[in-house]
Amino acid sequence: MSAGGASGGKSTGVAFEQPPVPLTAPAAKLPVAIPARSYAMLFAAQLAIGAAAIFARYALHGTGPIGVATLRLSIAALPMLFLSRRIGKDRTIALHDELVLASAGLALALHFTTWIASLQYTSVAVSTLLVCTTPLWTTIYDIVFLKQRKSAGFWLALLASAVGTALVSTASGGVGSSSGQALLGAGLALVGAVAMAGYLIAVRPVTSSYPTVMIVGRTYSWAALILLVMMPVVHEPFPQADPISWGGIIAMAVISQMLGHTGINASLRWFSSTTVALSTLLEPVFAAVLAAAIFNENLPMQSLVGCAVIMISLVFVLKSKSA
């Protein structure tokens, strides 16, 4: 999540004449009050996204993670492609940029496949929290490749997040019956987080060149196409007449993606990007509460401590990115 920086205070060396002081001072500009419905929209959007793991569990009833990810992305891509044709009908995408979007689609396909697969081995809360560590990986990329410098506090938060990840990854409980299964699930969720970081990094160069709906329409479509090719290779058929699986898939695409992510983007009209980014930490909380109520998932104390450490670390990282 990037935040706008303050204007610099460098002197240009050019003297400017001071404007005349008005006889009557202008009235102070009052801050615009944020409507209550905007808070409700942001809350509902995070709830919809937090419920994605619940929907994914039902979706996995009739097919595997690649099948679920393929159908979810295909359903979400169709309206985006329609809107992008209406908005960008006079725009063409350069071949180089198309290749960039295709690579972003590959990262998105990997993100959804590994994250959904992680739900077969670890708890909803742990999977959702670990896949939300994307800001850590994008920041590490900025440090390694863009040579950005970070404070000692950031490195302490990074170390703390690693400790928290180790705690939740080695704790038994949740879906997995052993610490080995929990470790596999945690690893898949972390791969999903890194893949999402790759997606965000890949689309950075084209975000200022094309409308968001065109970028999303292309990346969703590329991701769905890549997964469609993979399905016969891994022998994952589409779910047959399985209302539970289809219900979960459609709910993921419509509620979590179209309504949830649309609401997040709309909330940027009222809230800063940092506030919206911090609000994403509600997603694993909502996921944990829903999983406890629906699947009777209860985290062991080791996982709870690890989750708390990771969330505190993410708060620091997200706030530092706005500095």
List Cβ neighbours of 20 (8 Å cut-off, separation of 6 or more).
none
More confident residue, 11 or 112: 112
With residue 211 as reference, give the H or E element that holds it. Answer: none
Give the residue carrying structure tokens 């944020």.
34
174: phi then psi, degrees, rounded to nearest 5:
75, -140
Cα→Cα distances 199→204, 206, 249, 282, Å: 9, 12, 22, 22
Residue 47's pLDDT is what?
95
Amino acid identity for residue 136 in this structure: L
Residue 276's pLDDT is what?
83
Judged against a pLDDT cut of 90, whether residue 19 lies above it is answered with no
Residue 238's pLDDT is what?
85
Mean pLDDT of 174-198: 84
> Measured between alpha carbons, how far is 290 from 318 in angstroms, rounded to an integer?
25
List Cβ neighbours of 167 (8 Å cut-off, separation of 6 or more).
302, 303, 305, 306, 309
Q: How confident is the model at residue 36 (pLDDT cuts 50, 70, 90)?
A: confident
Q: How confident is the model at residue 190 (pLDDT cuts 50, 70, 90)?
A: very high
- Tens-digit pLDDT profile for residues 305-318: 999 999 999 998 88
Q: How confident is the model at residue 177 (pLDDT cuts 50, 70, 90)?
A: low
With residue 257 as reference, give the H or E element that holds it. Answer: none
Cα→Cα distances 76→1, 84, 97, 169, 219, Å: 23, 13, 22, 31, 11
229: phi then psi, degrees, rounded to nearest 5:
-70, -35
Mean pLDDT of 273-301: 88
Find the range with the poorest average confidence among 16-25, 26-35, 312-321: 16-25
Amino acid identity for residue 42 in this structure: L
Judged against a pLDDT cut of 90, whether residue 192 lies above it is answered with yes
Find the range with the poorest average confidence among 26-30, 98-102, 269-273, 286-290: 26-30
Mean pLDDT of 173-197: 82
> Measured between alpha carbons, how far is 311 from 55 in angstroms, rounded to an integer?
23
Q: How confident is the model at residue 244 (pLDDT cuts 50, 70, 90)?
A: very high
Find the range with the poorest average confidence among 9-23, 41-55, 220-234: 9-23
Query: Token digits for 67?
Result: 């099948």
Domain ranges of the chain: 37-320
Query: End-to-end alpha-carbon separation of the chain, Å?
Result: 12
**Signed CA dihedral, 198, 75, 129, 283: sign only:** positive
DSSP assigned state of 17: P
How many CA atoms, within 13 angstroms, populate the side-chain half-sphere of residue 164?
22
> Measured between alpha carbons, how far is 260 from 282 in angstroms, rounded to an integer?
13
Amino acid identity for residue 115 in this structure: W
Model pTM score: 0.83
Judged against a pLDDT cut of 90, whether residue 29 lies above it is answered with no
Mean pLDDT of 169-198: 82
Query: Token digits for 50?
Result: 């937090």
Residue 20's pLDDT is what?
39
| CB atoms closer than 10 angstroms to residue 104 | 24
> Measured between alpha carbons, how far is 299 from 62 in angstroms, rounded to an integer?
26
More confident residue, 113 or 213: 113
List Cβ neighbours of 281 (8 Å cut-off, separation of 6 or more).
132, 311, 314, 315, 318
Highest averaged pLDDT of the listed ranges 17-21, 60-64, 83-87: 60-64
Judged against a pLDDT cut of 80, whether residue 297 lies above it is answered with yes
Residue 173's pLDDT is what?
55
> Measured between alpha carbons, how far is 28 from 322 in angstroms, rounded to an integer?
26
